[in-house]
Amino acid sequence: MMDRPDQRACVNGLTNDRKAIFRCVICSICGTFAVVVFLSSPPPLALMLGFPAEKTPSMDFSSARQSSRPPRLAITASFTLIAVFVIWLILPRRSDPQDEVLPLPVISKAVAVLNGETVSGTVTFTQLFPTAPVTVSGEVKNLKTSTKHGFHVHASGDLSNGCASAGSHFNPFERTHGAPTDIDRHVGDLGNIETDSKGVASFTFEDSLLSLNGPLSIVGRSVVVHAGTDDLGRGGDDESLKTGNAGGRAACGVIGLAA
């Protein structure tokens, strides 16, 4: 089985051969057309050589008869040329793979592994098809017991400086911060997750703004669990409309493709 470079070279060769054949066919047709036109109304040899020719009655009669006869061969050749060109246009032909736009694969599942100083967990995102809601499920451990913690998708997947370099909430539409059910919210606003008496938060919910596909895909971005509770934009101050006053970043992880 040929690898991709060999296949590309093979297709390029076929494409180049087709172009060369087409040029030869067009040149042949044009040459034939010129000969047919020449034969349908042949000029006197003297005129072709640049010398004036004497007109004779026989020549006048022949010229008159010839000029009155419609150039059927020339018309036929013209239509033939047009027909061949149209057929060439509509025939299917292989193009260069470099010019082809390949469809992007549909992503149906992604995973983020969360890590912090003490907090850890895993979050899974699933999407049945590109326009379907995303199901978010996971478990986060070692949080404060029986409390709510802000839970967001952040814009950057850069964790080179820990959770601090994950950027702000994913907000491609430049809205204010809100609850997951609000119309005016960040795409990354996922509200709060709640822990039990052991400090474990287990959750499963759907979100209609998140997507694993398309230009607003969250794959490659990050998930952040905050130390405090998200006030969902109801705090009455500027910070509430930006971060929900959710406090520090307890754990984070990059959203990657699931195996």
- From 190, 244, 187, 189, select the one nearest 215 (Cα to Cα): 187
- From 133, 124, 150, 138, select the one nearest 210 (Cα to Cα): 133
CA atoms of 150 and 191, how far apart (whole Å): 6
Q: How far is CA 198 from CA 61, 100, 145, 202, 229, in A?
A: 116, 55, 6, 11, 17
pLDDT of residue 21: 62
Confirm whether 177 is a catalytic residue.
yes
Model confidence pTM above 0.85: no
Confirm whether 152 is a catalytic residue.
yes
Q: Looking at 149, 154, 185, 221, which residue is catalytic?
A: 154
Q: What confidence category does residue 41 fall into, taking pLDDT thresholds of 50, 70 and 90?
A: low
Which DSSP category does 168 fall into? S
Q: How far is CA 125 from CA 78, 97, 106, 111, in A?
A: 64, 33, 14, 6
Confirm whether 149 is a catalytic residue.
no
Question: To the nearest whole percent, how much of the chain has pLDDT over 90?
Answer: 59
Q: Looking at 149, 226, 230, 231, which residue is catalytic?
A: 226
Q: What confidence category does residue 47 fall into, taking pLDDT thresholds of 50, 70 and 90?
A: very low
Confirm whether 154 is a catalytic residue.
yes
pLDDT above 50 (res 7): no
pLDDT of residue 151: 99
Mean pLDDT of all residues in 92-106: 69
